[in-house]
């Protein structure tokens, strides 16, 4: 009696689906100290981000945020959901009683307005943020003052990559 052929290890044999974007892989995302320093895009004094994905078609970005100062970072409102995984340090929002500790995950719902503080004693905070929509920076009453979204991130990254010799087009690695 013949046994059915096991096809579990046979790769997909058909044609690629039309218009599927290229996949994207970054090494050493969690091995933070091995990161090429040129990949850290300055965003302000003692604040940098390392882009992982810029989704221009769906309006979100995934990045590592690195902060090497204590105190208030920003007050902002979210236009879309945010997923945060803390890799180093700790931080919190003045409006909430929870703390984002190293190794923890937090979901920030769209519409939440909060003020990010890195407490004294934290030399470095690094968090993996997946941000859909925009940060709307605002005053204490919620009045908008500035925005940040995938397109403003791309602008910063292009200028930085050009400055450090990678070339502005290096940003295309991250765009899907
Ligand atoms: Fe936030």
**CA–CA separation, 28 vs 16, rounded Å?**
29
Q: How far is the CA of 92 from the centre of ligand 1 (A)?
A: 10
Model confidence pTM above 0.85? yes
CA of 19 to the centre of ligand 1 (A): 33
Determine the topology of domain 45-167 in CATH. Jelly Rolls (2.60.120)
pLDDT along the chain (176 residues), means of 10: 83 96 93 93 97 98 98 97 98 98 98 98 98 98 98 98 98 98
Burial 90-127 (b: 16+ CB within 10 A, else e): bbbbeeeeeebeeeeebebeeeeebbbbbeeebeebbb
Residue 166 C-alpha to ligand 1 middle, in angstroms?
Answer: 30
Domain regions of the chain by residue span: 45-167
């Amino acid at each position: 009696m013949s046994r059915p052929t096991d096809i579990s290890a046979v790769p997909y044999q058909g044609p690629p689906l039309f218009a599927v974007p290229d996949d994207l892989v970054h090494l050493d995302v969690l091995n933070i100290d091995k990161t090429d320093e040129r990949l850290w895009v300055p965003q302000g004094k003692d604040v940098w981000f390392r882009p992982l994905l810029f989704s221009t078609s769906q309006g979100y970005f995934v990045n590592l945020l690195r902060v090497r100062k204590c105190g208030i970072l920003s007050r902002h409102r979210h236009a879309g959901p945010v997923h945060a995984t803390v890799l180093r340090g700790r931080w919190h929002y003045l409006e909430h009683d929870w703390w984002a500790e190293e190794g923890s995950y937090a979901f920030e719902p769209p519409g939440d307005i909060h003020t990010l503080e890195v407490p004294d004693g934290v030399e470095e905070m690094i968090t993996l943020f997946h941000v859909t929509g925009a940060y709307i920076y605002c005053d204490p009453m919620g009045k908008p003052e500035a925005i940040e979204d995938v397109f403003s991130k791309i602008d910063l990254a292009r200028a930085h990559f050009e400055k450090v010799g990678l070339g502005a087009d290096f940003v295309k690695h991250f765009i899907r």
